[in-house]
Amino acid sequence: MLRLLKYLLAVFLLIFVFYSMALLIWGIESQPLVVHNKDLTTEEAGKIKRLMTSIDPRKMKKDEVKHIQLTEAELNSILNYTTSRLFWDVAAQVDIHPGRFDIDASLKLPDELTGNYLNVQLNFAGRGVQNMDVVGLRLGSVPFPAFAFKPFLSLVHPILMRNANYRLLTDVVQSVNDIEFSDDQMRVVYQHDPENLLRTRRQVSGMLLTKSEIERLRAYDAYLMEYSNSQRMTNSGIPVYKFMQNIFTLAKQRTQKYGKALEENRAALIILAAYSNGSSLEKWVGTGPEKPKVPRHKLMLCKRADLAKHFLISAGITAAAGSDLANFAGVLKEMNDSRGGSGFSFPDLTADRAGVLLAEFAMNPRKAGRLQDYMNSCEEERDFMPEIDHLPEGLQEVDFNRIYHKENSYEYNRVIKEIDRRIQECSIYQK
């Protein structure tokens, strides 16, 4: 028995050494298998927004079932755009066949490594979430037979279950009742489970927020709500800079006490975003159900409530998750609005981009403290938000496509450059 174990171990080591050498020689390639496509059409933006709306847990009843159907082209346009915007140098695409699907992905490697790309091909087969199985794996030009990686996956699964990210993924999968692949189409049956959603939210908050960070957010939330309650309700609303000035006063005080300007700025921007969106902090961090709603002031930017919300939510998303996600969310909303909503609005996009830049300054270790000083005495919104005159808005899909065609067109980028020029001229961004 001992001899057999030694023999198996020797075979395993030989296989490991062989595939390690093969990956170094043939695994890294000079050309990507999948190329980025960052352009998003209004039709694709509308599809993403409708999909998100259809499975919005706030609008679903317990155990309600949703049937989601996507074509291969729709899935690839969404996948390629989001991966190129939200992940580091990754491009991906899906190839759907009856009863199976393949995922191809390309990761741009640092220039110091031999070659430029790690190309990955994954093959799945089966029907239903429980019966779906990985049947093929290729890294670069190196194929991995099922007998080589399946035992490894079985051994790794219990270990991965100790990781919060992996448990989160399994919780999400549990909400999917069925998944089926036919000719160039994917059908997913999703069932809403509020308890599973709350458990997932708590896991997310546990991964993203430490106990001290949650306590910091609660301190800012209480401080802002106290200030809000002290202000008289008006139909005209309150300029957003007054709320920002107030909360950054607390940020400066806490930085002087704890010496963590960046962390204090992050908490301030997240709470401002939550306030402008009417969100409960307790529900956001996943520690319990939403508290009873309290009256909140209408915040104004350039005499418009919608711009204040765009600005603060973009700043909050950037502080919490990065500028790529914030910019993606802003563009997605505007392109979807061109399909029968309020229309594509470059002023809204200006507020989005100004909020992103403010948060980038707030999260910059060299500028975080200076931003607190500036915001503490800020009494004019033009210090951080430019004028929006002569910027097109209310563009419906037919007009947007006629003038700008799609995101990243020459005409579109010309307006974006003008917006960025205006933002950069604001005094706060020149510090």
The phi and psi torsions of 283 (rounded to 5 degrees) equal -70, -35
Largest Cα–Cα separation, the chain: 84
pLDDT of 429 over the 70 cut: yes
Q: Are 385 and 301 in contact (CB under 8 A)?
A: yes
Q: What is the mean pLDDT of residues 263-274?
A: 92
Q: CA 269, 271, 275, 278: dihedral to nearest 10 degrees?
A: 120
pLDDT value for 285? 59
- Residue 136 pairs with which residues in a beta bridge? 123
Q: Are 286 and 164 in contact (CB under 8 A)?
A: no
Displacement of CA 70 from its chain's centroid (Å):
21
pLDDT in tens, 372-426: 998 888 888 999 999 999 998 887 877 777 777 666 678 888 989 999 999 999 9
pLDDT value for 206? 46
Q: Report which of residues 258 and 36 the model is more confident about.
A: 258
| Structure tokens, 205 | 């908050």
What is the distance between the alpha carbons of residues 129 and 411, in angstroms, rounded to a whole number? 44
DSSP 25: I
**Residue whose C-alpha is closest to residue 336's, from 83, 39, 48:** 48
Q: Report which of residues 66 and 201 the model is more confident about.
A: 66
pLDDT value for 306? 92
Q: Report the predicted TM-score, pTM, of the whole model to 2 decimal places.
A: 0.65
pLDDT of 295 over the 80 cut: no
Question: In this structure, how many other beta carbons lie within 10 angstroms of the beta carbon of residue 70?
Answer: 20
Q: What is the mean pLDDT of residues 136-151?
A: 72
**Residue whose C-alpha is closest to residue 307's, from 271, 269, 347:** 347
pLDDT value for 235? 86
pLDDT in tens, 347-380: 999 999 999 999 999 999 999 999 999 888 888 8
**Residue whose C-alpha is closest to residue 83's, from 64, 100, 104, 69:** 104
pLDDT of 6 over the 90 cut: no
Q: What is the mean pLDDT of residues 247-267?
A: 93
The least confident of 72-86, 227-241, 324-338 is 324-338
User: Which band of pLDDT confidence, cut at 50, 70 and 90, is reported for residue 204?
Assistant: very low
Q: Are 222 and 215 in contact (CB under 8 A)?
A: no
Q: Which residue has the tokens 């089926």?
A: 180
| Structure tokens, 60 | 């679903």
The overall average pLDDT reported for the chain is: 76
Share of the chain above pLDDT 70, in %: 62
What is the distance between the alpha carbons of residues 79 and 94, in angstroms, rounded to a whole number? 8
pLDDT value for 58? 57
Q: Which residue has the tokens 């490697």?
A: 109
